[in-house]
Amino acid sequence: GTFLNTGTIRSDDDAAIDYDASTTTSTIVNSGLISGTIGVLVEKGLTGEAPNLAAQIITNSGTIEGRSGRALDLGAGDDRLVNTDAGLILGDADFGIGDDSAAFARATRAFGLFDGGEGEDEMIFDAAFADLSVLSLKGRVLSLSLAGDMFLRATNWETFTFTDGSYSYARIAALAPVPVPVPAAGLLALGGIGALAALRRRR
């Protein structure tokens, strides 16, 4: 089906948009609010139901919110997300099986773990690689931010495309610094504070 939402689609105890089995491409164009325990949910066939094998194409310039922690759960199909400058995604996004893509405008806001799943998946940024203000790697999860407007974590994406070129996961992961564990830094700070306190007591 096709959703053109300029108002509010909300569920307090279920997904806001819930796709059952289908082989027909669906389209969501959102400039309003889509809010549920999951924002957009696609049937994966895990409970005996037939799976949805179609592509979901989402253009978001409003808000998609998953109040249980997952904004998008898209299942199989070659899914496409375009998040514009006005778009806000609150929660994780699971793109499932298929050759998926997720495109982010420079001032986009997307907070959560974006999992490309199985297939050849591509993240596209309307900015240069040099514009990244945050790039770090923890395990297989990349953290990326563009000038503080966007912060997302990405895993299982094979290609990252910027306005000045494309990077494989292996290449961009090699460029990403590994963050220093916070507990270790905290212990060093506490040790320094303790030493200062002991010195003061001696004086």
Q: What is the mean pLDDT of residues 41-64?
A: 91
Decide if pLDDT at 126 tops 50: yes
- The pLDDT score that the predictor gives to residue 195 is 46
Q: What residue type is 74 in one-letter code?
A: L
Reported pTM: 0.83
Q: Is the pLDDT of residue 177 over 90?
A: no
Residue 191: what pLDDT?
Answer: 52
Pairing mode, strands 113-115 and 88-94: parallel
Q: How far is CA 41 from CA 14, 18, 95, in A?
A: 9, 5, 11
Give the pair of three-digit tokens for residue 51: 């799976």
Q: What is the DSSP letter of 181?
A: P
Find the range with the poorest average confidence among 100-104, 174-178, 186-190.
186-190
Structure tokens at 111: 């907070």
Q: What is the DSSP letter of 96?
A: -
